[in-house]
């Protein structure tokens, strides 16, 4: 079994009212979908997502995709 790890810091652009102007995943979903489309022969076994960070620092999301070729 192998693992592919994706990480992104969530630093969304905010408008004047402090609301996000873009998708909150900051492109993480697109990165994962692109990787999956480039590797059609793999069999995904498990996906694990964690998030760290908080009040003073931007959150970081880590997605681990466990797969077999």
Instruction: Judge if pTM exceeds 0.85.
Output: no
pLDDT band at 23 (very low <50, low <70, confident <90, very high): low
pLDDT tens per residue, range 31-56: 999 999 999 999 999 999 998 876 77
Is residue 66 within 8 A of residue 1, CB to CB? The reply is yes
Query: For the chain, which residues make up each domain, given as ranges?
Result: 2-68
- Cα 26 from chain centroid? 8
Q: What is the pLDDT of residue 9?
A: 84
Rounded-to-integer distance, Cα 26 and Cα 24, Å: 5
């Amino acid at each position: 079994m192998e693992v592919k790890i994706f990480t992104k810091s969530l630093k969304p652009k905010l408008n004047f009212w402090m609301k996000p102007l873009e998708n909150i995943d900051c492109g993480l979903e697109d990165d994962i979908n692109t990787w999956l489309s480039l590797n059609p022969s793999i069999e995904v076994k498990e996906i694990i997502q964690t998030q760290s960070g908080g009040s003073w620092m931007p959150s970081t999301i880590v997605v681990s995709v466990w797969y077999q070729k």
